[in-house]
């Protein structure tokens, strides 16, 4: 049985479906079982638990061979934070998995490091280090920004900052395929896989593409960096937006694909098309 933490989320839902399609039993852990309804029969079992509370995840480990962590605490319900979910919650999952003798597949981010300006990237790096130091057998999957998430965020043509910094975007569908591979192929244990998409594009270019697909060629508006700076002390979102507007967010995805070269690499236009963006056209 595979345990998927974050199985109710954007990526986790796809991972659960892929594992179920292979005939594997999947247990999903969620803070609210109502959020797992859309999984239907893909989830063999749904259990309630919060990765911030180790006791609440201990019983979910029964009979588990591999744990997938697709949780994130950057945004979302329940007063989550990167420190409490991505760093400490993942540490709880790793400790519980190690005690149960289960392997761990951990979702992280391309660019994670101890000194990143992004709180989330530091928390992910801490989780990676905790996992590498544990007795569990592990695979880390680092991904770039999911283009489908950003299409959902950018329902209006508003760009945070100047929007002229190139960023690597990947299709969440391609990430799900790599995570599935990481679960089933134990030769990938002890490896950190990185996945991105074929293009580095700016938020201005993404906004223009979305406006074109949606048939609404209106002018792109910007939230100025000065406003983001002013909001930063109070809120992690503008801090992250400033970082994404200024630090190197590019990635050479081709060079990273050696360990899974047979898996799909979807371009941005195809990913948005598959996500149904063309349906917005009036
Ligand atoms: N989105 C991106 O651009 C991106 C890029 C690189 C890497 N990643 C990584 O990929 C993974 C999936 O991202 P996503 O965008 O698909 O996530 P998402 O849709 O925002 O889903 C987040 C998931 O985290 C779970 N979660 C949050 N706090 C929790 C807690 N305290 N206890 C248990 N579960 C908790 C939620 O479960 P419940 O609400 O059901 O409890 C939900 O299933 C994450 O690890 C993320 O950091 C994402």
Whose CA is closest to 179, among 274, 69, 93, 280? 69
Residue 68 has pLDDT above 60, yes or no: yes
Average pLDDT, the chain: 95
Distances (CA, A) of 145 to 59, 110, 247: 33, 9, 14
pLDDT of 78 reads: 84
Residues in CB range of 175: below 8 A, 6 or more apart: 11, 141, 143, 146, 195
Q: Does a structural domain hold residue 45?
A: yes
0.95 cut: is pTM over it? yes
pLDDT in tens, 231-262: 999 899 999 999 999 999 999 999 999 999 99
Q: Does a structural domain hold residue 59?
A: yes
Q: Does a structural domain hold residue 111?
A: yes
pLDDT of 282 reads: 44
Average the pLDDT over 137-153 and give the result.
97
Residue 281 has pLDDT above 70, yes or no: no
Average the pLDDT over 149-178 and give the result.
96
pLDDT of 76 reads: 84
Residue 278 has pLDDT above 70, yes or no: no
Q: Answer yes or no: is the C-beta of 251 below 6 A from any ligand 1 atom.
A: no
Q: Answer yes or no: is the C-beta of 80 below 6 A from any ligand 1 atom.
A: yes
Q: How confident is the model at residue 152 (pLDDT cuts 50, 70, 90)?
A: very high
Q: Which residue's CA is the nearest one to ligand 1's atom 35?
A: 71
Q: Does a structural domain hold residue 149?
A: no
Q: Does a structural domain hold residue 64?
A: yes
CATH number of residue 184's parent domain: 3.40.50.720
Q: Answer yes or no: is the C-beta of 151 below 6 A from any ligand 1 atom.
A: no
Q: Residue 236 C-alpha to ligand 1 middle, in angstroms? A: 16
Q: Does a structural domain hold residue 247?
A: no
Domain tally, the chain: 1
pLDDT in tens, 180-228: 999 999 999 999 999 999 999 999 999 999 999 998 878 999 999 999 9
pLDDT of 217 reads: 79
- Closest atom of ligand 1 to 51 CA is 32
pLDDT of 279 reads: 62
Q: Does a structural domain hold residue 154?
A: no
Q: Which residue's CA is the nearest one to ligand 1's atom 24?
A: 71
Q: Minimum mean pLDDT among 91-95, 135-139, 236-240: which range?
A: 236-240
Average the pLDDT over 39-64 and give the result.
96
Domain that residue 130 falls in: 2-143+172-195+252-262
Q: Answer yes or no: is the C-beta of 2 below 6 A from any ligand 1 atom.
A: no
Q: Residue 276 C-alpha to ligand 1 middle, in angstroms? A: 22
Q: Does a structural domain hold residue 132?
A: yes
- Closest atom of ligand 1 to 74 CA is 47
Q: Residue 79 C-alpha to ligand 1 middle, in angstroms? A: 13
Q: Residue 74 C-alpha to ligand 1 middle, in angstroms? A: 8
Alpha carbon of residue 211 to chain centroid: 25
Average the pLDDT over 49-73 and give the result.
96
- Closest atom of ligand 1 to 50 CA is 32
Average the pLDDT over 73-78 and give the result.
88
């Amino acid at each position: 049985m595979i345990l998927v933490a974050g199985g109710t989320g954007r990526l986790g839902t796809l991972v659960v479906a892929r594992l179920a399609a292979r005939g594997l039993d999947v247990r999903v852990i969620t803070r609210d079982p109502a959020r797992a309804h859309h999984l239907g029969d893909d989830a063999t079992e749904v259990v309630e638990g919060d990765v911030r509370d180790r006791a609440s995840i201990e019983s979910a480990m029964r009979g588990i061979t591999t744990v997938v962590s697709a949780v994130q605490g950057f945004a979302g319900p329940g007063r989550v934070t990167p420190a409490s979910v991505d760093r400490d919650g993942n540490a709880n999952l790793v400790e519980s998995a190690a005690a149960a003798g289960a392997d761990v597949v951990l979702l992280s981010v391309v660019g994670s490091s101890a000194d990143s300006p992004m709180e989330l990237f530091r928390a992910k790096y801490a989780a990676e280090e905790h996992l590498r130091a544990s007795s569990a057998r592990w695979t880390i999957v680092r991904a770039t920004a999911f283009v489908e998430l950003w299409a959902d965020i950018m329902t209006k043509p508003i760009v945070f900052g100047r929007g002229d910094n190139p960023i690597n975007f990947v299709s969440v569908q391609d990430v799900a395929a790599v995570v599935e591979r990481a679960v089933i192929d134990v030769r990938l244990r002890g490896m950190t896989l990185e996945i991105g998409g074929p293009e580095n594009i700016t938020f201005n270019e993404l906004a223009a593409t979305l406006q074109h697909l949606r048939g609404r060629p209106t002018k792109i508006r910007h939230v100025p960096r000065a406003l983001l700076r002013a909001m930063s002390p109070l809120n992690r979102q503008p801090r992250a937006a400033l970082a994404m507007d200024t630090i190197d967010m590019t990635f050479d995805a081709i060079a990273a694909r050696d360990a899974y070269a047979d898996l799909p690499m979807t371009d941005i236009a195809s990913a948005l098309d598959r996500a149904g963006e063309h349906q917005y056209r009036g």
